[in-house]
Chains A and B, each alone.
Chain A
Amino acid sequence: MKPTKDQLLWMYENMVLSRRFEEAIEKVYMEGKTPAFNMANGPIPGEMHLSNGQEPCAVGVCVHLTDEDIVTATHRPHHQAIAKGVDLRGMTAEIFGKSTGLSGGRGGHMHIFDADVNFSCSGIIGESCGPACGAALSRKMQGKPGVAVAFLGEGAANQGAFHEALNLAGVWKLPVVFVIEDNSWGISVPKSEATAVERNDVRAAGYGMPGHHIPGNDPEAIFDIAGQAIERARAGEGPTLIEIETYRLAGHFMGDAEQYRPEGEKDALFEKDPIPKMRARLLADGTATEAELDKIETAAGEKVEDAIGYARDSAPARDEDALTAVFV
């Protein structure tokens, strides 16, 4: 499958938007956390998992989805949320713990829920898989269109939940696609020391579904394979497992000293940064002009600035609201 110009530009736009968003979040996150780094301080407290470097996985998959399709995401959800069209202002305000946040400040960065675009996530590793199966089953039972995509990390592919969900999807032929973002690290543990097989796509065979491996963190290659998998799911032909080789340019969470990384790894990864790479490609093959791409980048910056401003200016969550919304 080949992307149209519009699709290519959409992917680029959302990659840039996600990157600018995280650059802004990173800056705000550090407010109040220097010189002593204490997670509890600053306008954005708690853990912060950035997804920079992994943007191609989100855009190459979500470009094929509509608001009605379902995405279940992870503890590292920003790029996935942005590509799925989650309300940026609401998400930013949620990360700031404000009353105007998607969940009124109750969830935070690991618990982004936007029902309008069928997006949810969990901070428990592997827990994106089961809910995606259930949503896919629900669509099937209701006779409604739609596919579900579960994002997960390569570390999550060693959880029982992953294997149980894949079997369920396989035996019930559910319209679901499992997308593993293999950034080769589960916090400090390398894939090679945690996973019995070199590539997770081979595990698909155990659950009666096709498996694909996509090297190179390449948005167009992801577009192609993900497009086929989603088409297959829409046609009622069942689930697919995809593993994408990608790169985590940041630490596991902010504050991670990353001493476990081999020397030089980070520099090498930054050289493969997918955003400048895609920009160069779009220009080189004449898909877009400098002016077009500059415009996209400027617009992304403005959108982020607007969202951060909105979040900053919003009223804080009300203390007493902590006690509401336990039940509907």
Chain B
Amino acid sequence: MLDQQTNERRLTIARAMAEAMAQEMRRDPSVFVMGEDIGPFGGIFGNTRGLIDEFGKDRVRDTPISETGFISAAVGAAMDGMRPVVELMFVDFFGVCFDAIYNQMAKNTYFSGGNSSVPMVLMTSTGGGYSDAGQHSQCLYGTFAHLPGMKVVSPSNAYDAKGLMTAAIREDNPVVYMYHKGLQGMGWLGTEPGATVHTPEEDYVVEIGKAKVVREGSDVTLVGLAMGVHNALKAADKLAEDGVSAEVVDLVSLVPLDRETVRASVAKTGRLIVVDEDYHSYGVTGEIIATVCEHDIGKLKAAPARVAFPDVPIPYARNMEQFCLPNADKIVAAYRAMQKAEG
């Protein structure tokens, strides 16, 4: 898509991911892709569209519905010189194959004393908001980020999506690449337009483990990832109407976590609100708040707040799900509550 005003090439996250995979497959014959419906169908979420036409069935493999089998197989292939990009269609399906992920993919490097490596990418879709209920709408960022041995990234826009995919494929360690369905640019999922941005044609990397300040501000720091960034940006717009200047930090990566960027922002603003579509407890929000508090609690002018999904399975009914999901208004309300507490 060419932007009429700026003449810039804008891509959806789905296309950006596919373009990065295609470029890396051209460059490196050891890269191959496998997963369910990633061949002629082009991926349920569009992220492998076109790959089979260029690279054929051998390097773009539709798999049986056997996640334990093919994700373990990716581990074995990665340890034997290949660079598989393997898809777990919805992150919720990790339940049937988690051993392959966290007992093998994540640990084999360590078990070998660093003598073996597992250079693979596990890409998986996250997120709800379209009433797909409790087995097809989770984020589970905290679940994956909690376990040592795998890098974890989640882009909020197409530019980062492409650069992170390229970086992930070139990375010699396993990378879990979590893409949010609501940002994919698939109309049938009701996409967030802010995720479709200028994306250069040539290959480039976005550094894994580096957060980005995507909006500068001085009164409060809003931290999020993926859809959370868009919610935070919308909240920042609303707060600006009342003269409140919010800074927005896009974490981009959960592992490694760029604690410095978060701390530097909070050192400047003195206030912290963390936004996460994953469950409230034991997750990203708690980790970010701890990151700030254990470092220098004196920097905080108010108790930090979190806007996350309550600790319940994701309900189906549209109004129930929307009631639970984070949004800009909830972030603004959290800021108001913070102000009130400050007196």
Contact = CB atoms under 8 A, between A and B. Distances in A.
A108 B320 contact: no
A43 B239 CA distance: 33
B65 A159 contact: yes
18 contacts: A39-B190, A97-B316, A106-B320, A107-B133, A107-B134, A111-B134, A123-B133, A125-B96, A126-B65, A155-B65, A160-B66, A187-B36, A189-B36, A259-B41, A317-B315, A318-B320, A319-B320, A320-B323
Contact of B44 (A41, A126, A187): A187
A40 B189 contact: yes
Interface string A28-54: 000000001111110001110000000
A239 interface: no
Interface stretch (B14-22, B124-132, B330-338): B124-132
A47 B69 contact: no
B59 interface: no
Interface in A76-103: 94, 97-98, 101
B2 interface: no
B218 interface: no
Interface in B156-214: 187-190
Interface string A307-328: 0000000001111111100100
A225 to B, nearest CB: 25
Interface in A94-134: 94, 97-98, 101, 105-111, 122-127
Given A40-B131, A40-B318, A161 B188 contact: no
Nearest to B318: A45
Classify chain B's interface size.
35 or more
B277 interface: no
B113 interface: no
Of A106, A195, A323, most buried by chain B (CB within 10 Å of CB) is A106
Contacts, number: 149
Contacts of B73: none
B188 A38 contact: yes
Contact of B320 (A105, A186, A194): A105
A318 B322 CA distance: 12
B102 interface: no
Given A106-B320, A159-B66, A319-B323, A37 B315 contact: no
A12 to B, nearest CB: 32
B64 to A, nearest CB: 4
B79 to A, nearest CB: 21
- Majority-rule SS of A interface residues: loop
Contacts of B115: none
Contacts of A36: 187
B46 to A, nearest CB: 12
Interface string B131-151: 111111000000000000000
B308 to A, nearest CB: 14
**Which 5 residue pairs of A and B lie closest in terms of their CB atoms, listed nearest first?**
A108-B316, A97-B317, A105-B317, A45-B131, A46-B131
A38 B132 contact: no
Of A47, A123, A316, A320, most buried by chain B (CB within 10 Å of CB) is A123
Contacts of B136: 47, 110, 123
Contacts of B92: 124
B256 interface: no
Given A94-B316, A101-B317, A108-B316, 17 more contacts: A36-B187, A41-B190, A45-B131, A106-B134, A106-B317, A107-B133, A107-B316, A125-B96, A158-B64, A160-B66, A188-B40, A194-B64, A195-B64, A320-B323, A322-B315, A322-B317, A322-B323
Contacts of A172: none
Given A45-B131, A110-B133, A125-B65, A38 B189 contact: yes
Given A319-B320, A322-B320, A159 B96 contact: yes
Contacts of A321: 320
A319 B324 CA distance: 8
Interface in B302-343: 310-313, 315-321, 323-324
A316 B188 CA distance: 24
A270 interface: no
B37 A326 contact: no
A39 B318 contact: no
